[in-house]
Structure 1
Amino acid sequence: MKFDRQARTVDLDPRDPQFYNDPYSAYEEIRAHTPTFFWNQYGMWCFTAFSDVDRLLRDKRFGRQILHLMSREELGLEPPKPHLSDFDAVEAHSLLELEPPAHTRLRTLVNRAFVSRQVEKLRPEIAALTHATIDRFAADGAVELIKAFAEPIPVSVIARMLGVPQERCADLLDWSHAMVRMYMFEADAAAEHAANRAAIEFADCLTELIAERRRKPTDDLLSHMITSERGGDRLSDAELISTSVLLLNAGHEATVHQTGNAVKAILENGLDHRALFRDDAAAAAAIEESLRYDAPLHMFTRYALEDVVLDGGIEVRKGQEIGLMLGAANRDPRQFADPTSFAAGRADQANVTFGAGIHFCIGAPLARLEMQVSLPILFERLPGLRLADTPRYRDAYHFHGLERLDLAW
C-alpha cells in the first residue's frame, strides 16, 4: 500500500490476498493519516469514520442511481454491453439500485413480509432446518462449514419464503454466485458472460413460477407480491423477477458470509459459546457484535446527485461515486471502545453492516434471526468445535466472506 499524505490518495490493490484476508490492518494504517482518502484503484473518495458513513448513507444528496439524472456520455461511461443485456434487464428494477419514487413504491409492496414480527414466525422452521443440516455431518468429526452449513440454511429459508422449490436451491446458489461476481473489482469478460447466463436461467425459472402462482396462489412471498397492490398499482412481471432475484441473492449471500465470519471470530477469540448463547437476549447481542466485528460487506457506493462539498473541503461532482467503508466504520476507535476486541453486549454497540437510510437492508431481521437460531445450535450440537486449518477469505472484496472454514470436534 502506498499513501500520499498530502493528497490523501491511496494505492491499494483490492485483489491483494494480504489485503482481502486482513483489510482491518490497512484500514488502521490509513486511519492513522486520515479518516477519508481517495482510493486510486476505484477512482473515488472513501470514508472510514463511523459518523461519516452513517451520515452519508442517509444523505439525500447521494443515491444508488444516477442515469435518471445524467446520460452515460456525460458520465464518461461505455455504452451498455450487449452480452450483459439480460443481466442489465434483471438489475433494472432492483430495489438496491432505485431511488424514490420507484424505490418507495417497490419497497412498500414487499416490505410487509420482512418486518420482525413476520420473520419471528420462522424461528421453529429455522431451528428444525439447522438440526437437519447438522445431522448430515455431525458424525464425521470434521466439516468445511461454508458449503455444508453456512450456504444451505439461508438459501433454503429464503427459497421457502418466496415459494421456490427446494430442489432448485443448488441452482439458486450457482446463479447467485455468478451474478454477485459482477460486483467484484474489475470483473472480467468470463464473469460477465457467466452473470448474463445466470440472469437468463434465473429469470426463466421465476417466469415459470410467477405464471404458476398467478394460476394458483399459495401462502408464500411470491404470491403475496403478485397480489399486493396499492391504489390499484401492482408489480409487473419484470419487477417481480428483479425483486425476487434481489431477495434471493441478498437474502442469503450476506448471511452466508456473516455466519462463517462469526464462527471464525468466536473460535479465534476463544470465546465461551455457553456464555455467548446462554439465552435469546445473549444470542442476539453476540450476533450483533459479530456484525460489527467482521462484517460481510465492506464497501457500499453511492452517486452524488448534485455537486457536493463535504467536510475537509472534499468536492464531489454530480455523477461521481463515493465509497462508504462499512467494515472500517464498524471498527472506528472514535466510535467504539477497544474496537478490535469481540465484546458481546458492549455498551457502545452499533454498526452500519446493513446500511442506513432508505436502502437499509430489507432482509436484516431475517439475517439476524437465522444466525441467532443457527449458531447456538451449531455450538451446542458439536462440543469441542475448533479450527482445523487457517480460514481463507475469498478474493471478492468488497464482499468479505470466507472461501473455506475447516472445523473439527
Structure 2
Amino acid sequence: MMIPPFLKIDPATRHVSLDGSDLAFYGNPNAVYAALHAHCPTFYWEQQKQWFVTNYDQVNGLLRDRRFGRQILHIASRGELGLPEPEPHIAAFDLAERYSLLELEPPEHTRLRTLVNRAFVSRHVEKMKPELEELANKLIDGFADKREVELLSAFADIIPVTMIARMIGIPEDMGPQLLKWSHAYVRMYMFGRTRADEDAAEQAAREFSDYVKTVIAERRAEPRDDLLTHMIHTEHKGQYLTEDELVSTTIVLLNAGHEATVHQIGNSVRIILDSGYDPAELFGDETATERTVEESLRICAPVHIFQRWALEPAEIDGVEFRRGDKVSMILAAANLDPAKFSDPLTFKPERNEAPNLSFGAGIHFCIGAPLARLELNVVLPILFKRLPGLKIAKTPVVKDVYHFHGLDRLDLVW
C-alpha cells in the first residue's frame, strides 16, 4: 500500500506525522486509513499528542471496555491528573456539556439514557415514516423542475433538523437557528480549534441554553405529547431531571440528532453517484435499500473519532496506558479494516461481512441510530426515484473539518 506523500509513518516507534487540516487528507481520509492499516494500525499521532487505534476488533473492543470512559473527573481530581482548570471564557459551553449523554458514565449516564431511550427505539421511530416521506417529497417538489440543486441546503440540512425538532417539541421554524448554533458547537471538537471558535461556541451555548430554558418553562406550564415534556415529567427511581440536565440533554439530542445525518445524506448520494451502480437496483426493495445504506455508512462514515480516558492502567496492542491518558478510536478507519472487509475501499452493497461501527458500540452506542437509519432508508430512495438521471454537476466541496466528515456543497443536475 502506497503511503501518501503528506503522511509520515515510522513503523519502529509507531509515530505518525499528519496535518489534520490538509485538504489532501480530510478530502480523502480513506486513502490514509488504508496506508495506516497496512503499515501502522495503532499509532501515536504527533500533532495530536495522542494514541489512535484503527483495527476493527480493537476499536470495537475499546468502545465496550469499561477500563476506559468518556469522563475521568468522577474518579480523579484535576490536580491528580495534571489537568488545567476550566477556562472561564467557555463556562457556558462547559455547563451545557456537563450532563451530555455523550460525556457521562454510569450511573448518571444510565439514568439519563433510560429516560430518553423510549423515544428512540425502532418501533417508536418507525411511526415517523409517513412524515419523513411527506417532508422529502415536499422539498423535492420545490426544486424538481429546476433540473439542478445544491443538495445540502435544499434537502439534507432540512430533513434531520426538522424531524428531531418535531420529536423533541421545538418549533420547526427554529431549524435555521438550530443549525447555526450546532455548527458553532461542533467546532469545539475539531483539531486546531481557535479562540474565535471557542468564543463562537460560548455564545451559541449561552443562546441555545437560554432558548431551551424558555421552552422547558412552557412545557412545565402546558405539557404536550413530545420528548421534552416526557423528560420533564417522568421520574427514574424517584428522581426527575434537573434544569441543567434537561438543557444538556435537549442540546445534545438536537445537535447529534441532525449533524451526522446531514453529512451522511450528502456522503451517501456522492458515493452512490460515483459508484456506477444503477440506483434502481440499489433501492429496488427494502432489503436492497438497507444494504445500500449500511454500505454507505461503512465506507463514508460521518463521525470519525471517539475518544476515551483510561480509568485505570491498561494495555492496548502493546501500548501501555496510565490512568488519565487519552486514546482515540477512528471509527471510519475500523470500517475499512481489510481483515474484516474484502476490498474495503470499494463500495459493494452486496456485502455480507461485519457490521459497520459508524454508530459506535457499547453503552455509548448512538441513541439516535434507529432515527438516522430510518431517515436514510426513507429519503434516499425517494430522492433517486424522483430525480432519474441524477449526476454530480461539479466536484463536491468537502467540509474543512476532519473530526466530522461531510460536504459543504453537493451540486447536482438531472
Please name the residue that 1:2 is paired with.
8
Distance 1:377 1:221 in 2: 28
Per the TM alignment, residue 347 of structure 1 is displaced from its structure 2 partner at its CA by 1.3
Q: Report whether the alignment pairs 1:396 with 2:401.
A: yes
Q: Please identify, of 224-233 and 89-98, the stretch whose mean Cα deviation from structure 2 is larger.
A: 224-233
Q: Could you tell me how far apart the structure 2 residues matched to 1:18 and 1:231 are?
A: 51
For 1:203, the equivalent position in structure 2 comes to 209
Give the SS at the match of 2:47: coil
Gaps of 5+ in 1: none
TM-superposed deviation, 1:186: 1.8
Cα shift at 1:281: 2.0
1:218-251 Cα distance to aligned partner (Å, 9 max, x none): 1111111111112221111111110010000000
Alpha carbons 2:340, 2:354 under 8 Å: kept: no
1:317 aligns with 2:322: yes
In the other structure, the counterpart of 2:4 is none
Report the TM-score when normalising by structure 2: 0.97
Equivalent runs, 1:295-374 vs 2, <5 Å: 295-311=301-317, 313-374=318-379
Equivalent in the alignment of 2:98? 92
What is the aligned partner in structure 2 of residue 266 from structure 1?
A: 272
Is contact 1:289–1:349 with CA below 8 Å preserved after alignment? Answer: no
**Deviation digits for residues 246-301 of structure 1, max 9, x if unmatched?**
00000000100111100000001122111111112221111111110110011111
Q: 1:348 offset after TM fit, Å?
A: 0.6
| Residue 127 of structure 2: aligned partner | 121
Q: What RMSD, in angstroms, separates the aligned Cα atoms of the two structures?
A: 1.0
Q: Residue 157 of structure 2: which of 151, 157, 161 is its match?
A: 151
TM-score by length of 1: 0.98
Deviation at 1:34, TM superposition (A): 2.2
Give the distance between the partners of 1:404 and 1:61, measured in 2 at CA: 41
1:102 and 2:108 are equivalent in the alignment: yes
Q: Deviations over 1:92-146 (max 9, x none)?
A: 0000000001100100011000000000000000000101111121111111111
2: distance between equivalents of 1:391 and 1:317? 43
Q: CA deviation at 1:349?
A: 4.3
| 1:61–1:305 Cα contact (<8 Å) kept | yes
Tell me, in whole angstroms, the C-alpha distance in 2 between the residues paired with 1:345 and 1:125: 29
1:43-122 paired onto structure 2 within 5 Å: 43-122=49-128
Of 220, 223, 233, which aligns to 1:227? 233
Measure the CA separation in 1 of the matches of 2:350 and 2:134. 27
**Cα offset, 1:153, TM superposition:** 0.4
* SS of match in other structure, 1:338: coil
* Alignment partners' CA distance in 2, 1:231 and 1:297: 34
CA distance in 2, matches of 1:332, 1:132: 40
Point out the more displaced range, 89-98 or 41-50. 41-50
- What's the offset of the Cα at 1:345? 3.4
Q: Report if aligned partners of 2:9, 2:40 keep a CA contact under 8 Å in 1.
A: no
Question: Are residue 187 (structure 1) and residue 193 (structure 2) matched?
Answer: yes
Greater mean alpha carbon deviation, residues 175-184 or residues 139-148? 139-148
In structure 1, give the amino acid aligned to 2:372.
A
- For 1:298, the aligned partner's letter is H
Letter of the 2:46 partner, please give it: N
Look up the SS of the partner of 2:198 in the other structure: helix
8 Å contact 1:144–1:405 — kept in the other structure? yes
Match of 2:32 in 1: 26
Q: Which runs of 5+ in 2 are unaligned?
A: 1-6
Asked whether the equivalents of residues 175 and 199 of structure 1 are also in contact (C-alpha less than 8 Å), the reply is yes
User: Residue type of the partner of 1:36?
Assistant: T
1:25-48 Cα shifts (integer Å, max 9, x gaps): 111122221221111111111111
Contact 1:86–1:199 (8 Å) recurs in 2:
yes
Residues 354 and 364 in structure 1, CA contact (< 8 A), matched pair in contact too: yes
Moved more, 101-110 or 21-30: 21-30
Q: d(CA) in 1 for partners of 2:217 and 2:266?
A: 36
Aligned to 2:412: 407
Task: Indicate the residue corresponding to 1:141 in structure 2.
Answer: 147
Partner of 2:387: 382
- Mapped to 2, the partners of 1:221 and 1:408 lie a distance apart of 38
1:17 paired residue among 15, 20, 23? 23
